[in-house]
Amino acid sequence: MNTKLGIGTGVFAALIFAVACFGGYTSVLLLVGYVFLCESDEWLKKAGVKALVVMICVDFFRAVINLLPDIFGWINSLLSFFNTNINFAPVSNFLSLFTRALSIAEVVFLLMLAAKALKNETVKVPFVDSFIDKHIK
């Protein structure tokens, strides 16, 4: 099936996933907005929302993880009033490594979704797919 632009729905979904890897929220929102306003293909709509939900979930987890060093710094500042100092540097270094690994995993996963989209297929992500099925009709 083709979009109104004349390209296949799989190619357009792959484009959305690729843009999610490298383009950021604005470009993904523009593409998903186009899909919802102009296209009628249900699979394409779900694929666009899946790209957006994956981005949001990864960014949420990244934000939570990035809060932990700040919390440790706050605890260390609080303990300095009592002349006590705890070295949280190894924990912060591990969290930094973890967020970088999470970013790499996000790119690999979105590229895998793009490759599957070229065949009009998808990768099942239980909590994301259930959210999409519940809210997209």
List pLDDT tens digits, range 51-66.
999 999 999 999 999 9
pLDDT of residue 127: 87
Average pLDDT over residues 77-94: 87
Average pLDDT over residues 43-54: 95
Between 60-69, 92-101, 102-111, 126-135, the lowest mean confidence (pLDDT) is in: 126-135
pLDDT of residue 4: 93
Residue 82 has pLDDT above 90, yes or no: no
Average pLDDT over residues 32-55: 95
Q: What is the pTM of this model?
A: 0.88
Q: How far apart are CA 25 and CA 38, in angstroms?
A: 20
Q: Which residue from 25, 5, 16 is spatially nearest to 44, judged by alpha carbons?
A: 16
Burial tier of 20 (Cβ tally within 10 Å: 0-12, 13-18, 19+): buried
User: For the chain, what is the total number of helices (H) and then of strands (E)?
Assistant: 5, 0
DSSP state of 2: B
pLDDT of residue 28: 97
Residue 83 has pLDDT above 90, yes or no: no
Residue 137 has pLDDT above 80, yes or no: no
Residue 123 has pLDDT above 80, yes or no: yes
Q: How far apart are CA 83 and CA 1, in angstroms?
A: 69
